Structure 1
């Protein structure tokens, strides 16, 4: 099983690490390293923090500008309008991230309990949400609105489609248009890269790998697997998939479940490789580096807790979000209605222009080639018998 990261997991400041260099005895680059996920959705921790800080500041500026436009629109309609909230009301990066992770947990519950969707759909939907909010701010698009579209899109890209009428029937207060109208926005934010490689398959691969030794502790492996799967669920609410390879996350989950089991196997595997001439390093890196990286991921997963959230804090953030959300993206606001009317007027104008061009082209054809031939019509079948006279 190839586990090479291709580059330092957290040391590089580049968004996309350099490809891995296959070492003697290693499995070389895996299909993961050739994927869009590795090429376009891998970051260092520093780069992730910088992306989110930049997005947060940009969203604050746009929201502040649109709040002023909302005030003008409300006053033009003769409505009262309170002044925009002070800067301290806007959400911080950590508060945005907390709200996103809370709705990732809701997405997981909906996939499992609401629809009974596969683990692949659940993993993909959560990844879609986290990727979406690397390109968009919570203050512009509320996670409660984006989450159903991510699930619906994931069900299709994972070949487990749910009819839209059935889908929205299990979501309180949602109409088909609430989901479908945001589908292109989500797909565009994902750069139309829908493939997601989660760590679930890698985890089951490790369960087989751990059996590849002289006297495999089958009972210990079987007992550790459910606990490792549970830790894998926690990892989905973290940034682990953006920083580490799926095989690395999976190994860390197994080690949290049973460190003695994993350490014993790795010592056996590296000792066997050392005793074999030309075998090279089993996983493309030294045992010390592999354990250091694994412990680093374990800390990330443990910090996520068990998926429990401070609901009181979530509600407080959500309440503040209502007062500092971008009115241009908030249905019912004067600015939203104004922008929609402008878009509809523009679309109607474009449609009228197109119709005028078609009519002008038809008229030009008639001037050049003459009009219709006396209302006569060429029969659909030239070889059909002539109709009988009445």
Structure 2
């Protein structure tokens, strides 16, 4: 507070800090909803790749995916690096499904520091509220295919056709697992949607008649129209699934690095450091050559 010439009191005008103003203008914008979704989609695909490379069972892959999806229902990718969370989810899924792989082994297999996996383990469990049991649709597919054998009273060629139906359905459910549908629909319906899509390819059974047969045997409160509506909704989820382009990913990754304080300023500092190191090295070499010449 200052006293003016007329005796009145006033607050001094704070000096303008040009650096703060520049920082404010250079501060990057956060990711929007679509960009966050794209980066999650990218790492969900990476999660499947890692599980396939380690030859983990589908159950582990499905469990890790659900963990990853549920984690980012509560958190933003701008708060926790999705790569680290992805690896921690795989590690946690291996534990829960009793297919234990050490963090060191997992980190070594993908050239990542295993400590990052362990550092995020507790926050993943807390974000999942320690609700770690996951029911995946793969076992449901197995059960439905066995049931179909009895339903259609498999003839000589049908076991082979059912096997093809089974394999295609597993691939279809892999696609569905990458959408948000597993958070909204029970595993049995995910399995039926995958089997129906597979049956459209192989034409093994009258699928609607099979659905009616299931409902009649179970005395279900749901009608056939309600079940078909759910399966149609799942088909829509699968069709709407979109993987981001390489251009989009590069743009989003730059924004994400800026959010974490790893923007172009940091990159330029690294380059400056490297150039200084090179110039220092060349200077030392020049001095060494000169001393040799003098001697």
TM-score when scaled to structure 1? 0.56
Provide structure 1 residue ranges, at least 5 long, that are not aligned to the other structure.
Answer: 1-71, 274-278, 328-390
Aligned-pair CA distance for 1:281: 6.4
Alignment-derived partner of residue 230 in structure 2: 293
Cα distance, 1:304–1:268 mapped onto 2, change above 3 Å: closer
Q: Which of 257, 266, 278 lines up with 1:322 in the alignment?
A: 257
Q: How far apart, in 2, do the equivalents of 1:269 and 1:176 lie?
A: 47
Pair 1:206–1:177, CA change in 2 (3 A): same
Q: Give yes or no for the alignment of 1:142 onto 2:81.
A: yes
- Using the alignment, how far apart are the partners of 2:230 and 2:76 within structure 1? 31
C-alpha distance in 2 between matches for 1:190 and 1:84:
37
In 2, Cα distance between equivalents of 1:237 and 1:269: 25
Deviation (angstroms), 1:299: 1.4
Q: Taking structure 1 as reference, are residues 288 and 263 closer, same or farther at Cα in structure 2, changes over 3 Å only?
A: farther
List structure 1 segments (4+ residues) > 6 angstroms apart after TM superposition. Answer: none
Decide whether aligned partners of structure 1 residues 168 and 86 sit closer, same or farther in structure 2, where only a CA change above 3 A counts. closer
Match of 2:61 in 1: 122
Change in Cα spacing, 1:267 to 1:322, as seen in structure 2 (3 Å) is: same
RMSD: 2.8
Q: Is the aligned partner of 1:90 residue 2:30?
A: yes
Q: Give the structure with the higher percent helix.
A: 2
- Tell me the alpha carbon deviations over residues 158-204 of structure 1, each in whole angstroms, 9 at most, x when there is no partner: 111112222211222x3232111111111111101111111111111
Instruction: Measure how far apart 1:265 and its partner are.
Output: 4.2
Alignment correspondent of 1:267 = 209
- Among 43, 47, 57, the residue aligned to 1:103: 43
Partner of 1:244: 185
Matched residue count: 241
- After TM superposition, the structure 1 = structure 2 runs for residues 368-387 of structure 1, keeping only pairs within 5 Å, are none
Instruction: Quickly say closer, same or farther: Cα 1:165–1:280, change in 2 above 3 A.
Output: closer
Indicate if the aligned counterparts of 2:161 and 2:204 stay in contact, CA closer than 8 A: no
Which residue of structure 2 lines up, in the alignment, with residue 304 of structure 1? Answer: 241
- Deviation at 1:252? 0.4
Pick one of 163, 168, 191 that aligns with 2:107. Answer: 168
In the alignment, the residues of structure 2 paired with residue 122 and residue 204 of structure 1 have an alpha-carbon distance, to the nearest angstrom, of: 17
